[in-house]
Amino acid sequence: MSDQPELLFIDGEWREANDGRRFEVEDPADGSVLARVADASEVDAADALDAAVAAQAGWARTAPRERGELLRAAYELIVERTDDLAMTMSLEMGKPLAEAAGEVAYGAEFFRWFAEEAVRIHGRFMSAPDGKSRLLTAKRPVGPCLFVTPWNFPLAMGSRKIGPAIAAGCTMVVKPAEQTPLTMLKLAALLDEVGVPQGVVNVVPTSDASGVVGSLMADDRLRKVSFTGSTEVGKILVRQSADHLQRVSMELGGNAPFVVFEDADVDAAVEGAMVAKMRNMGEACTAANRFLVHADVADRFAGALAERMGAMTVGRGQDDGVQVGPLIDADAVESVSQLVTDAVHDGARVVTGGTAPDGPGHFYPPTVLLDVPSGSQINEVEVFGPVAPITTFTSEDEAIAAANATPYGLVAYAWTRDLARTMRLQESLEAGMIGINTGLVSNPAAPFGGVKESGFGREGGFEGIEEYLDTTYVALPPG
Ligand code: ADP
């Protein structure tokens, strides 16, 4: 890793934590220490917010084109540095290099997209219906923001928030996940390099997430919190936001159904399943979590999927040909192992995989389970690992009811060649995003987000910038 920043980035400067503490970032493939990063305390967090608050008014006044061009320059520099960013990400998070490069491309696109949106922020002017007044609306930046991001997509989960915030004219404090702060520190250096003014983006890695985030949210100068992570932590943050009524965007957990109907192109469904399940080793909130497959095609689908998943190469993300890296930590392997053991106990059959290898490293093999009883725990919770549990159904109504039988509602995948059925699914599946005959829904031009306990707010698309804008209205006389 070249030139890895290891300090806090506050007000355009790199500095040690005020108490001099650091914490270790580990390589999940072998537990070795990659870096010792400055460990922000609540005092440092307050400094970061001070910087964001001080920069806010001036930043809000910059020309939209200026903000757009900074984003465009950042996009170009990220793309130019793809190899270095991908290597950093692969080392700290474990994902294969090719996937890490894919995330760099995806993450960079949010800067390109919002570079183009920065100059399209507008209000409206109209006559009131009774003709007695005129209405003028305008958009203004919501103010200093806090971004709390997860470890599974260390770059993209940040750039989806930083991009629109910069476009809208907001300043920000970013708290990356403690497992993966290195990519975000590199991104901060890169934004500084392209000329984002001091104080606009501040980054405070910490081993004390609840203390740092809690203290920032207790400050009424903070106006917005955008979080990507677990539903459990999201609920804590929504409660905390109540004290000062900060605006919140919540991208939380998922329990995506992947429904294969009897009329589906089964080979295409298997291809799609490989993407929806195995992207990021299954460590994605969009990951296909439950496979609901019509009984007529279940054996064929399971056999073909097991063959593909069983043939994948597991190993260090940086090694040639590796398709499946380690999971993030020992707890992740333990949790996935337990879900598989319980499913087998409930009557599921292991078609491939199913046993974690001995260490070092936090590896788990691609696993396919058939005949998983619908009530099994693995169907109830987010697996966050390379396991495909398959449950069968025999009617469309049964499939839709099963797909919706979860508190989550982020994404649903369905495979069918029937257009009328597609329309019924679009109307009845309880998910913020629906993939029809595709295993990939993420797209910077699309509104990413969930319903139910998967959260609220949208990232990307035309909608994404609205999370960072307040609407003001001016009443005018008829003239
Ligand atoms: P995961 O289980 O995938 O690690 P989390 O929701 O625990 O997901 O973590 C997502 C982000 O939330 C990380 O940046 C983490 O440091 C942060 N976080 C975890 N617990 C809290 C908390 N109590 N308050 C604020 N942030 C938290």
Six-digit token pair at 421?
């059925």
Helix 295-310 with 266-278: angle, nearest 10 deg: 50
CATH number at residue 36: 3.40.605.10
CA torsion sign for 173, 177, 178, 184 is negative
Q: What is the pLDDT of residues 156-192, one digit of tens each?
A: 999 999 999 999 999 999 999 999 999 999 999 999 9
Same domain, 152 and 55: yes
Torsion of Cα atoms, 437 then 413 then 250 then 62, to 10°: 0
Residue 2 pLDDT more than 70?
A: no
Task: Please check whether residue 88 lies inside any domain of the structure.
Answer: yes
For residues 242 and 358, state if they share a domain: no
298/370 same-domain check: yes
- Ligand 1 atom with the smallest distance to the CA of 213 is 25
Q: Give the DSSP per-residue string, 181-239.
A: HHHHHHHHHHHHHHTPPTTTEEE---S-HHHHHHHHHTSTT--EEEEES-HHHHHHHHH
Split into its structural domains, the chain has a count of 2
**Residue 278 resides in a domain:** yes
Rounded distance from Cα 178 to ligand 1 centre (Å)? 9
170 part of the active site: no
Averaged confidence pLDDT in the chain: 97
Whether residue 210 is found in the same domain as residue 341: no
Q: pLDDT at position 205, please? A: 98
Residues 239 and 335 in one domain: no
- On whether both 275 and 384 belong to a single domain, the answer is yes
In a domain, 183, yes or no: yes
- Kindly report, residue by residue over 373-430, the tens digit of the pLDDT: 989 999 999 999 999 999 999 999 999 999 999 999 999 999 999 999 999 999 999 9
The pLDDT assigned to 180 comes to 98
Domain range for 135 is: 8-252+454-475
Whole-angstrom distance, CA of residue 236 vs CA of residue 210: 10
For the chain, the 3-state helix, strand and coil shares in percent, each to the nearest 5, are 40, 20, 40
CA atoms of 395 and 97, how far apart (whole Å)? 41
pLDDT at 321 over 70: yes
Q: Is the CB of 208 under 6 A from ligand 1?
A: no
Question: Separation of 378 CA from ligand 1 center, angstroms?
Answer: 22
Query: Span 232-257, mean pLDDT?
Result: 98
Q: Are residues 271 and 142 in the same domain?
A: no
CB 200 within 8 A of CB 188: no
In tens, the pLDDT along 390-405 reads: 999 999 999 999 999 9
Q: With cut-offs at 50, 70 and 90, classify the pLDDT of residue 350.
A: very high
Mean pLDDT across 424-446: 98
182 and 329 in a common domain? no
Please tell me the distance between residue 210's alpha carbon and the centre of ligand 1 in angstroms.
8
Q: How far apart are CA 269 and CA 266, in angstroms?
A: 5
pLDDT digits (tens, 9 = 90+) for 43-96: 999 999 999 999 999 999 999 999 999 999 999 999 999 999 999 999 999 999
Clarify whether residues 147 and 291 are in a common domain. no
User: In this model, does residue 12 exceed pLDDT 90?
Assistant: yes
Ligand 1 contact, 150 CB (< 6 A): yes
Same domain, 235 and 275: no
- 246 and 260 within one domain: no
CB distance 233 to ligand 1 below 6 Å: yes
Domain assignment present for 225 = yes
- State the CATH number of the domain containing residue 263: 3.40.309.10
pTM of structure? 0.98
Nearest Cα residue to atom 24 of ligand 1 = 210
Q: Would residue 462 count as lying in a domain? A: yes
Q: What is the pLDDT of residues 270-305, one digit of tens each?
A: 999 999 999 999 999 999 999 999 999 999 999 999
Residue 231 maps to a domain: yes
pLDDT at 1 (0 to 100): 54
For 28, residues 6+ apart whose C-beta sits below 8 A from its C-beta are 93, 94, 179, 325, 326, 327, 328, 329, 361, 362
User: What is the tens place of the pLDDT at every residue in 97-139?
Assistant: 999 999 999 999 999 999 999 999 999 999 999 999 999 999 9
Averaged pLDDT for residues 205-223 = 98
pLDDT greater at residue 478 or residue 176: 176
User: What whole-number percentage of the chain has pLDDT above 90?
Assistant: 99
Inter-residue contact 217 to 240 (CB < 8 Å): yes
283 is catalytic: no
The secondary structure of residue 8, as a DSSP letter, is E
DSSP secondary structure letters along 144-161 = -EEEE--SSSTTHHHHHH
CA–CA separation, 258 vs 438, rounded Å? Answer: 10
Best of 148, 185, 225, 227 for a ligand 1 pocket test (most atoms within 8 Å of beta carbon): 148
Cβ 351 vs Cβ 306: under 8 Å: yes
**Which is the closest atom of ligand 1 to the Cα of 152?**
3
Q: Is 2 inside a domain boundary? A: no
> Which residue from 147, 233, 381 has its CB within 8 A of the most atoms of ligand 1, so it is best to mutate?
233
User: Catalytic residue among 251, 283, 430, 459, which?
Assistant: 251
Determine if ligand 1 sits within 6 Å of the CB of residue 381: no
State how far the Cα of 154 lies from the Cα of 196, in Å rounded to an integer.
20
Let me know whether 181 and 121 are in one domain.
yes
Pairing of strands 13-15, 134-141: unpaired
**Within a domain: 470:** yes
